[in-house]
Structure 1
Amino acid sequence: MWIRIDADDLPGRTCPPAGTGPAEGPRYTNVHVAVQGRRPTDLLDPVPGDAASASWTLACTAVPRPGTPSGIDLRGAHIQGRPGDRFVYLSWGTVDPAGTFTMFRRAKLMLAAVPDDALTRAATSGVLTAHLALTDTRGEPVCARIVPPGITWSYGS
């Protein structure tokens, strides 16, 4: 099975540190976003923060999970958390001239918030699709727990 994450409305290549607002002052520069694996340095396809859109495709396995509404648990190299509380991290970071990514914030795409019908049908079709905007209401990179309506989950290609 696959999870496809489609994102748009990226915030740009610079942003202020959290809590400082858009005022002048220090800023993160050469901002990129990537799917994070189990280690913070395990990044899948970093995308510049000023790209028109971003898309990632993650391999995963749907396994039976009795006791959950859908009866399905997702596992994979880019899926984190305990059964019933799984998520995918989108990590925001700066990229220096040597290509080193330094994370400064991240978002959790909560798989536990996927509607049961979409998860059940995705397990059959082979594709679970997420769509979200990557800029928050302050014009900064989206972060924290992302659940509907901040993300839309569907199934199929």
Structure 2
Amino acid sequence: MMVGMRIRIDAVDLPGRTCPAPAGSGAPTYDNIHVAVQRRDRPAELLEPQPGDAASATWTLECTALASPTGTDVKGPYVQDRLGRRFIYLSWGTVDESGVFSMFRRAKLMLDVVPAEVLAAAAREGLLVGRLGLTDAHGNPLCARVEPPHITWTAETWTAESAS
């Protein structure tokens, strides 16, 4: 049976508004960086961009959960599905004077590594919460695959207060 569920991403330790380009790339420094959740198959459609120097950032995503022979399957407009692996993209980009977001890096919050019992509990309780820091070991925006221990997943009971 398919049930409504939400995923809340709670992020702290944002890297700031400036990010140096990779050494030797010749690219300029990235300025006025922001981070947002990317919609599935629509890289330009971003949910609630947050400045890179915010104290914290939170996004709440609507999704569905369905029990399957392999566990709990999560789907939704912000849940990516590549080769059967589900994840959420956090896109990092610069925002120019006219408000245009230009992505330069992404982080993949992997859902297929959420412990099965946590995912099943989240489907029952209504909320899966991922907590993570967004600065990598070099002081730059976190990118690439994000799995525990870099993110902690918990199930919580959904209430109106859970959204923030």
The TM-score, its normalising length taken from structure 2, stands at: 0.88
The structure-2 alpha-carbon separation of the partners of 1:113 and 1:64, relative to structure 1 and needing over 3 Å to count, comes to: same
CA RMSD between the two structures: 1.4
Q: Give 1:55-66 correspondences, 5 Å limit.
A: 55-66=58-69
Structure 2 residue 89 is the aligned partner of structure 1 residue 86 = no
The Cα of 1:83 is off from its aligned counterpart by 7.1
Q: Structure 2 regions of 5+ residues with no counterpart? A: 158-164
Secondary structure class of the residue paired with 1:6 = strand
Give the aligned partner of residue 134 of structure 1: 134
- The amino acid that maps onto 2:75 is R
Structure 1 unaligned spans of 5+:
none
| Cα deviation 1:35-62 (Å, max 9, x = unaligned) | 0002110100000000000000000000
Letter in 2 for 1:118: V
Task: Indicate the residue corresponding to 2:153 in structure 1.
Answer: 153
**Is structure 2 residue 47 aligned with structure 1 residue 44?**
yes
1:107 counterpart residue number:
107
Residue of structure 2 in register with 1:32 after alignment: 34
Structure number with higher strand proportion: 2
Deviations 1:40-99 (A, max 9, x none): 101000000000000000000001221x2xx21000000011474100000000000111
Distance between the aligned counterparts of 2:62 and 2:45, measured in 1? 15
TM-score after normalising by structure 1: 0.92
